[in-house]
Structure 1
Amino acid sequence: MLITNYFKKFFQIAQSSGNLLIICVIVSLMIANSSLGDDFQNLLNYPIGPYSTSLWINDGLMAIFFLLVGLEIKRELIEGELSSLKNASLPIFAAIGGMVVPALIFVFFNYGTEYQNGWGIPMATDIAFSLAIISMLGKRVPASVKIFLTALAIVDDLGAIVVIAIFYTEKLEFTYLALSGAVLLLLILLNFFKVKKHIFYIIPGLFLWHFMHHSGIHATIAGVLLAFTIPTNESTTEISPLEKLEEKLHLPVNYFIMPIFALANTNIQFKSGMIEGLFSNFGYGIILGLVLGKVVGINLFSFIAIKLKLSDLPKKSNWSQMIGAGLLAGIGFTMSIFIALLSYKGHTEIQDEAKFAILVASAISGFSGYFLLKLLAKKKVTISDYKENI
């Protein structure tokens, strides 16, 4: 089946790109806390044309990342796991719970403080890291659980995109917003008239990014809007323009753009008081939101959906494995850091505190999810062997 082949390839890419991301995080932390730290920061602040290097990374390259995310969301809605209400219902309910509960936990600890704007930080799931870790477990985890986590992460990203567009948008410039709308209308017309060549979408897409950047809405949203105008189909034999573009983007996004983002945004200089900051309300909001809020929200909303007979558990899975998947969804990293940068613009110290808490929370979630799923797989094998011996 096409969907099976797609997921096999997707997990292979996710595993190796996740390993590369871990290396980039370690390298970035080492550089930031060495004699090269200031030079590296100066490089990130260095102007390239009208914008700094870091802005090109966070607003430019990440727009391509969001283009790929948008393509994945659209493909899943048209022909994949989200194409029918029955298939989509459990990941959707789970993703909603995985966004609402962490946000409430953060607000509980930080309401009324200077940190309260960061409530979106623990809502996010990092697709690359979470799938990289579950892929390391191989056949010890049912394919249905991997697909559930993938669909959940995609819906989660869609939720994060909506949150960024609505709540982390600065003052709107209506002239540029109107120009963005005009370009978007052009892209929709190209789709309507079944124009298939990518170049006819990419060039207007660049203008869309430019106008969106100046409109006040974060420029990365342009990537998602562009993705939803790329033509696709429901055929299992004919490869659509969307699938061709998705295929082309996987390697540069996973092996260049995300590693560059990790290098540029985890260059945290460890300072006195950072460890103590983890045990502050701000630290609790992020760490408990990601580690506890994600797994509780995902499983609570999944349980309710299943009890109401709106959804079913993934095939050959159990609630223990769902808890493991929920823990892996607590790896926020890329999206969480991205939202932290938007939440505390101009407040470098708060951004660094948030990044550090996100790293710690993601590490706890990743290790605990991995070892729980690995332990469950061992127990299953032991029980099977025992029955065979009898």
Structure 2
Amino acid sequence: MSLLRSDRFPAIVLLAAAALGLIIANSAAGAFAQDVQHAYIGIPGVFELSVGHWIADGLLVLFFFVVAVELQYELTKGQLASARKALQPAIAAAGGVIVPIIIFLIFTAGSDVTSGWPIPTATDIAFALGVLAIFGRGLPSGVRIFLLALAILDDIVGIVFIAVLFTSDVNYGLLALSVVTVAAFGFVSRRLDGRARGAVIALMIVLAIATWVLVYLSGVHATIAGVALGLVMAQQPALRVRHEMEPWVNGIVLPLFALSSALVIIPNVPLSELSPAFWGILVALPVGKILGIMVFGWISQRVVKGGGKRLPIGDLLAAGALGGIGFTVSLLLSELAFATNEEVRDEATLGVLGGSGIAVILAAVIVSWRARYYRRIAASEGAAESAATA
């Protein structure tokens, strides 16, 4: 379990799951895998979802719950607990959202796929921290803190996009009922340390399931239920639950989602015939994130006073490259943005995988370069101290 709580291993598992999905989809087993993905499970005539939807709308809720618990902590006691702390990474995050959108819209101008502009705005926290852990030995802690704050703010933007842009025909009655169950969940969670703990846990599970069903049936994307529950749960028990859930989310939920999303047949067409959405995402994720985060991050450090130690431009470059690893949330956004156009959706998914892959390579090179730089400084300082004491 400790391996699945580390920064490095979950990133490797995610990459392997996505690669496996692509391999299966383009092999003799591809048709069977697609049939399984589209098979319906549930209570016939009452509540049924395809296997793919159970993963994206059901299991992925657990991931968003874990993210929301981390958001709650960071917003109250962590790196985003004050406006001064949050402002620098917030400006950098804004750049990491705005510039990829501009690049995507440039590539898709005049086409019918401009609705995919939210796709390259996301940063995958687990993947980015995993790459940082693998290649960043020796980097100062400030880089990780800045990246974590940046990625969390990116997640907030992604959650807002999912809630606002990909919601249609809302049933406000069911949505109102979900607000009631969320409030009840938050209230009951504050009784966890009292008597009848088992009954309290059982009631919380019932309220959580009811919230998910109500949000799903209301027309709002079901993952928002996980966000709401994670934000309202009492903090200390929420952190304990997050700790227990983390290995399962990293080892099962995210790899299953990556595998399911990557079940895409690589089109046998010339590159010139690929959708503009593919090219927009492929370029916007690595290039847009690097430019947006680096430039806006540099500006923020000169505009915002007292927001923490300044990062050199090389460290901002590394953070930008890591921010270009969109993966999980970008894959979800591509499914939502092109839900009615399977061909474009598949090409957008390939764009996410390709763009994130390029970002991983760039991040590995840049982070390794910066880490070597800091290790050399540490070594020279250590040698100077030894000479001084000799």
Same fold (TM over 0.5): yes
Cα pair 1:201 1:230 within 8 Å, conserved: no
Q: Structure 1 residue 216 and structure 2 residue 219: aligned?
A: yes
Give the whole-Å Cα distance in 1 for the aligned partners of 2:154 and 2:270: 29
Give the whole-Å Cα distance in 1 for the aligned partners of 2:306 and 2:245: 33
Give the whole-Å Cα distance in 2 for the aligned partners of 1:268 and 1:274: 17
How far 1:382 sits from its partner (Å)?
4.6
Runs of 4+ residues deviating >6 angstroms:
none
Percent sequence identity over aligned pairs: 32
Who is 1:47 aligned against? 40
Who is 1:15 aligned against? 8
Who is 2:238 aligned against? 242
What residue identity is the alignment partner of 2:291?
V
From the superposition, tell whether residues 223 and 383 of structure 1 become closer, same or farther in structure 2 (CA, over 3 Å).
Answer: closer
Who is 1:200 aligned against? 203
Q: Deviations over 1:250-299 (max 9, x none)?
A: 01100000000011110121121264456x63233212211111111112
Cα pair 1:11 1:135 within 8 Å, conserved: no
Q: Which of 306, 325, 336 is matched with 2:301 structurally?
A: 306
Which segment is superposed worse, 91-100 or 68-77?
Answer: 91-100
From the superposition, tell whether residues 33 and 162 of structure 1 become closer, same or farther in structure 2 (CA, over 3 Å).
Answer: same
From the superposition, tell whether residues 21 and 200 of structure 1 become closer, same or farther in structure 2 (CA, over 3 Å).
Answer: same
Give the whole-Å Cα distance in 2 for the aligned partners of 1:357 and 1:311: 39
How far 1:10 sits from its partner (Å)?
10
Q: Structure 1 residue 373 and structure 2 residue 373: aligned?
A: no
Q: Which of 230, 233, 239 is matched with 2:233 structurally?
A: 230
Q: Structure 1 residue 97 and structure 2 residue 100: aligned?
A: no
Give the whole-Å Cα distance in 2 for the aligned partners of 1:199 and 1:227: 17
Cα pair 1:70 1:225 within 8 Å, conserved: yes
Alignment of 1:339-358 (within 5 A): 339-358=333-352
Cα pair 1:274 1:353 within 8 Å, conserved: no
Q: Which of 147, 150, 153 is matched with 1:152 structurally?
A: 150
From the superposition, tell whether residues 47 and 307 of structure 1 become closer, same or farther in structure 2 (CA, over 3 Å).
Answer: same
What residue identity is the alignment partner of 1:376?
R
Q: Deviations over 1:137-192 (max 9, x none)?
A: 2432212211211121111111100111011112111221222122223234436x
Cα pair 2:4 2:247 within 8 Å, conserved: no
Q: Deviations over 1:101-143 (max 9, x none)?
A: 2112212332442211111000001112111100102432212
Q: Structure 1 residue 165 and structure 2 residue 163: aligned?
A: yes
Alignment of 1:247-286 (within 5 A): 247-273=243-269, 275-276=271-272, 281-286=276-281
From the superposition, tell whether residues 194 and 61 of structure 1 become closer, same or farther in structure 2 (CA, over 3 Å).
Answer: same
What residue identity is the alignment partner of 1:251?
P
Who is 1:6 aligned against? none
Which segment is superposed worse, 247-256 or 169-178?
Answer: 169-178
From the superposition, tell whether residues 265 and 31 of structure 1 become closer, same or farther in structure 2 (CA, over 3 Å).
Answer: same
Which segment is superposed worse, 320-329 or 88-97?
Answer: 88-97
Who is 1:25 aligned against? 18
Segments of 5+ residues of structure 1 without an aligned counterpart are: 1-8, 233-239
How far 1:11 sits from its partner (Å)?
9.8
Give the whole-Å Cα distance in 1 for the aligned partners of 2:202 and 2:309: 39
How far 1:314 sits from its partner (Å)?
4.5
Cα pair 2:116 2:277 within 8 Å, conserved: no
Who is 1:335 aligned against? 329
TM-score scaled by structure 2? 0.89
What residue identity is the alignment partner of 1:366?
V
Give the whole-Å Cα distance in 2 for the aligned partners of 1:23 and 1:348: 24
From the superposition, tell whether residues 47 and 142 of structure 1 become closer, same or farther in structure 2 (CA, over 3 Å).
Answer: same
Quote the RMSD (CA, aligned, Å): 2.3
From the superposition, tell whether residues 281 and 34 of structure 1 become closer, same or farther in structure 2 (CA, over 3 Å).
Answer: closer
